[in-house]
């Protein structure tokens, strides 16, 4: 039996009612639990328990100082973590929660230092996933959770991805099916008295945020260390990723060591081809699984990706593809 198979056999996977009680009990005891969300699977621990959160960093191999998002059962739990009276917090929460938006605000000292990387702010989010919200409600606290992959790798969008990446290093994997959005949340920072700033594009568009706030936002993570842990290279498979224009694809499609990922309607004729939906939303949902599938094919060294052409999620898809294609090391 391979190392991987042996590791996978040790993994505990639960779903439904059984998962709710088991996950809440493990979280209370300082355990590490992989939870489904609508974006990607998270690797969760009690956000007020520094030892538990440190186990998450160890399991992922994530450097300390990269802050984690705290997941809440509903918007009323914000006041447990922040005394901010910024009206933009409730406006955004009302419009987009539960959903793929993380709001960064000043915290009240309750998050464990390892959650915030000793910053004065914390990222908060109510995920749009029934099973995980039931776990959060039963647990009663906040769950600090980065994506449930090894540091720098592709985020998991199924329980099987989590098992393959983290194996026996988690106490429990809650299987909530494949993630519906498929890319990590939009992150917006609210610094009182300053315009809102988008630190990471995701499932909630910049336009939608501006409409709710009635004011322009700063679109991008510029400024002094505004987005700790946002490295240029990220979300990376083993193979080299290149982003192709529909126009220059001919040079790549006949190369046996290349897998092409493309929108379905392009009718690309590559030998090794993974077709994704044409709209950015469907493309985003299936992209990470496609990158994993491509990476697992034998004898390949390159994944050539043709992005979708339209849709609200296009900026998020392009952001993740650029990070996957960025030089490593
Ligand atoms: O959709 C998501 O956001 C997923 C699911 C599991 O909720 N989580 C996720 O977590 O993508 P992670 O750790 O892979 O990415 C969180 C990012 C980090 O790169 C960090 O830069 C940023 O959130 N972040 C968290 N707290 C922050 C803070 N207080 N200030 C600035 N950036 C923060
Ligand atoms: Mg991540």
pLDDT tens per residue, range 6-42: 554 578 999 999 999 999 999 999 999 999 999 999 9
Q: In this structure, are residues 294 and 308 in contact, taking their beta carbons and an 8 Å threshold? A: no
Cβ atoms of residues 22 and 37 within 8 Å: no
Q: What SS3 state is found at 236?
A: coil
Q: Is the pLDDT of residue 329 over 70?
A: no
d(CA 51, CA 279): 42
Q: Judge if the beta carbon of residue 42 lies within 6 A of ligand 1.
A: yes
Strand 186-189 with 172-174, pairing: unpaired
Average pLDDT, the chain: 92
pLDDT at 1: 43
Tell me, in angstroms, the distance from the centre of ligand 1 to residue 211's CA: 23
CA-to-CA distance for 27 and 20, rounded, in angstroms?
Answer: 11
Find out whether the beta carbon of 150 lies less than 6 Å from any atom of ligand 1: no
Q: Which pair of tokens denotes residue 134?
A: 């039931």
pLDDT at 227 over 60: no
For residue 177, give the nearest of 37, 321, 324, 32 by alpha carbon.
37
Instruction: Tell me if the bond preceding 77 is cis, omega within 30° of 0.
Output: no
**Pairing outcome for strands 121-125 and 101-106:** antiparallel
**Residue whose CA lies nearest to ligand 1 atom number 31:** 227
* Token code pair at residue 113: 């230092």
Q: In b/e form, how buried is each residue of 49-60, taking b as 16+ CB within 10 angstroms?
A: beebbbbbbebb
* Closest among 152, 157, 150, 153 to 182, alpha carbons compared: 157
pLDDT above 80 (res 2): no
Quote the Cα angle for 253-258-262, to 5°: 60
Highest mean pLDDT pick, 195-209, 216-230, 262-276: 195-209
| Residue 4 confidence (pLDDT) above 80 | no
The gap between the terminal CA atoms of the chain, to the nearest Å, is 32
Task: Spell out the residues 6+ positions from residue 98 whose beta carbon is closer than 8 angstroms to its own.
Answer: 38, 74, 126, 127, 128, 129, 133
84 lines ligand 1 (CB under 6 A): no
Q: Report the predicted TM-score, pTM, of the whole model to 2 decimal places.
A: 0.94
Q: How far is the CA of 82 from the centre of ligand 1 (A)?
A: 17
How is residue 120 written in tokens?
A: 């004065």
Does 79 score more than 90 pLDDT? yes
Q: Is 205 in the pocket of ligand 1 (CB under 6 A)?
A: no
């Amino acid at each position: 039996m391979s190392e991987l198979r042996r590791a996978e056999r040790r993994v505990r996977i639960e779903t439904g009612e059984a998962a709710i009680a088991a996950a809440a009990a493990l979280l209370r005891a300082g355990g590490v639990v992989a939870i489904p969300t609508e974006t990607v699977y998270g690797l969760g621990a009690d956000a007020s328990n520094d030892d538990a959160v440190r186990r998450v960093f160890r399991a992922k191999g994530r450097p300390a100082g990269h802050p984690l998002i705290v997941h809440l059962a509903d918007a009323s739990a914000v006041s447990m973590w922040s005394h901010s009276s910024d009206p933009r917090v409730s406006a955004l929460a009302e419009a987009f929660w539960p959903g793929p938006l993380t709001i960064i605000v000043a915290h009240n000292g309750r998050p464990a230092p390892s959650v915030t990387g000793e910053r004065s702010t914390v990222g908060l989010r109510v995920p749009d996933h029934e099973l995980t919200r039931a776990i959060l409600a039963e647990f009663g606290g906040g769950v600090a959770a980065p994506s449930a992959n090894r540091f720098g790798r592709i985020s998991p969008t199924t329980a099987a991805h989590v098992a393959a990446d983290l194996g026996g290093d988690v106490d429990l994997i809650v299987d909530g099916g494949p993630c519906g959005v498929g890319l990590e949340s939009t992150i917006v920072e609210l610094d009182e008295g300053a315009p809102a700033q988008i630190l990471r594009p995701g499932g909630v568009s910049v336009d939608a945020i501006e409409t709710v706030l009635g004011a322009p936002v700063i679109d991008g993570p510029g400024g002094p260390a505004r987005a700790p842990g946002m490295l240029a290279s990220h979300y990376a498979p083993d193979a080299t990723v290149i982003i192709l224009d529909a126009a220059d694809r001919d040079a790549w499609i006949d190369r046996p060591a290349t897998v092409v990922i493309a929108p379905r309607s392009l009718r690309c004729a590559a030998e090794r081809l993974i077709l994704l939906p044409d709209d950015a939303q469907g493309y985003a949902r299936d992209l990470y699984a496609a990158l994993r599938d491509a990476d697992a094919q034998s004898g390949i060294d390159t994944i050539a990706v043709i992005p979708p052409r339209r849709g609200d999620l296009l900026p998020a898809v392009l952001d993740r593809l650029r990070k996957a294609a960025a030089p490593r090391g």
